[in-house]
Chains A and B, each alone.
Chain A
């Protein structure tokens, strides 16, 4: 028998080596392990992450963040007409009197007046 024929014979034997093999058996505790994994999956963080990673929730959160960004940029830049006008400044003491505000500046002026 030549070397080539011997090799061919080896190949055939190897290809046949799976004939009659038995099925591998799974771990007898497979179900218990599956249950444990499912319990872990259904609890706490994983549930929170799965909720947050839902496309609809993620998009809604993105839209909210963008809206807040927009508001902080455009909403906080005070337009010129909303600045306190001179007349409004003039009416401030009236406002203070009405609500009996005593500011530190007032008391300082008062003390100074006594000194004089």
Chain B
């Protein structure tokens, strides 16, 4: 199947195999670099699942740990295999997914075969698992020294009671220590399966040849793997868990994160995307660089260029996050709250709405400059159950009334939390 978007002047091709495995190809003529993302819809949120009548509760951070161990091979280093082909290989784990990525200028076909091959097998022993713990603990400690990161994760803990979004993707030192070879094998066998995986290819490639090559290198054993188990996510109440928290790190300028919890969720993918776009547009309209709020408080020195606001979401969670480095965090929280109340009384700026919409159209077009960015965005949207190509049409159809309604319902300070690192 081919999907074409006129305004973007881009198209992609999709093929779904009988067992649910999906292949996407987005041809980009004239680009030197080709990328392939081989992904499983298995991220840090999915620690609890039900398999063969049994409930599993895995140690936090196991999806990320597994990502590290997929790179283990008996003889040669995977990095070296790719380097010999002039290609580079990498991987990332986020809340929803684990992706193995390949980028190369030459030898794309051979590299793609290698990518498919190493992800389709797991090769671990106890010693390697123990050694990897040391490396991952250093990775966690690296984040521990970043005050921005601490302020952000503490904000998530303030917003959520039970939802696993509040936990670090890599887990904690204790949870990583607890992971065993057997745990890793169970998770691999459960989630590295066709109906939970996909391949995304972008670059100047031949469409039919690439489909054929990919299919030919999915092993017989892989194609027969059973369906992924049912994931268990706790019921999360609407209200927040904590109104305020503060951590001391001896910073010259405190870091503030304020979050407002989303309580509206949609099963329909287009409705979910629309809510996401509206919510992002709202944060920019009310708190962005062209807003009255930004100008007023920049001029008084309450905020500086570090001030930013955004809306983040998935299928089962969402929040507006406002962050700043400020010497007067209490005053800034008050100013944000006052602004929300003021806009509720006086209304949103309709010209501003059209301006921000225009900006978002332009930025979306610009993002198609970079094949790497498209690959990342495509896969991220896919994992949230959203089609990238629906974006522009959805954005163009949004009405001012919808913006106003969402502002009134979402920006309710009863559902806000503040995290401060000093």
A binds B: no
